[in-house]
Amino acid sequence: MSEMTYRDAINLALKEEMRRDPSVFVLGEDVSLYEGSFKVTRGLLAEFGEERVRDTPISENTIIGVSVGAAMGGLRPVAELMTVNFALLAMDQIINHMAKIRYMFGGQTFLPMTIRMPGGGGSQLGAQHSQSLETYFMHCPGMHILYPATPADAKGLLKSAIRSNDPVIFLEHELLYNCKGEVPDDPDYVIPIGTAEVKRSGDQITIVAYARMTVLALEVAKLLESEGISCEVVDLMSLAPLDTETILTSVRKTGRAVVVDECWSTCGLGAEITSRIYTHCFDILKAPVKRESGLDVPMPYSRHIEKLCIPQVDTIVRAVREVMSGSY
């Protein structure tokens, strides 16, 4: 095991997969000479050359369209978009082509491609660059959606994404890039797509989260331990397919749940998870399920106001206390 940042774990996964499989190549805006907007592609050009690390025009629909064609032709492209917000410019390619081609060709072709995109709020980047759009992609069948919370998970999930014969959207929270953690050295370390993980065991209440919200949930669980509240933290990791059974097993154990997500509350992921909990665990719940989500507003630039729009440690703590006391 080696300690490294979330950024370096993703970089290592890319290098290992490019060394393992010559059909893997990286493309995107400024991924070669500049080494990526967040320096995730650092060192790739020097090791693999411009044939496999390719800068593209500032055209997201072109980046994804080229990737779709390359994947159909037998390559394994890993496309980087500077931010998930720019994926809106490529939604036709993502939704109508990438996600549907295998179905519309009757399974005669595969689409082994990965789209890497930083996302999330909290960086004072304004309303057009601080969005959490994961539910946009989850709503469309035909692709996997992954959103890791730790460096180890980032490495293991990205390697699985690149090896998959299905298209994968791989989201990376911008505020996690500098977070450090232990990462397995094994070049064949992978995490199966479609699995959630209990990151912390507890027996009184379940906190369901993903990406940066998992990091906050773990802080909350540690804080509340001193109050005698035992929190179990379930990290989704994979948003599509969603590992419902791991969530339900935890809720059946604790009898209470708080669902935390950063995306907008209306039609957000928290609503879907809450619905599944009520459908399968209604009779054993000791209290109503509480959602702690982003506010339904454009993200403000002001740091202080921005924090009010995204779940924070103190708001998650309050949500857990309310469920435990039955006071909401």
Structure tokens at 94: 């993502």
CA–CA gap between residue 250 and residue 228 (Å, rounded): 19
CA–CA gap between residue 43 and residue 262 (Å, rounded): 32
Q: Which of 60, 232, 272, 306 is catalytic?
A: 60
* Residue whose C-alpha is closest to residue 23's, from 56, 57, 63, 51: 51
Q: Is 60 a catalytic residue?
A: yes
Q: Is 129 a catalytic residue?
A: yes
Q: Which of 97, 129, 144, 173 is catalytic?
A: 129
Task: Dump the DSSP string for 102-157.
Answer: HHHTTTSS----EEEEEE-S-SS--TTSS---HHHHHTSSSSEEE---SHHHHHHH
Burial of 23 (0-12, 13-18, 19+ CB in 10 A): middle
Structure tokens at 115: 């789209």
Task: Dump the DSSP string for 255-285.
Answer: S-EEEEEEEESTT-HHHHHHHHHHHHHGGG-
Residues with a catalytic annotation lie at 60, 129
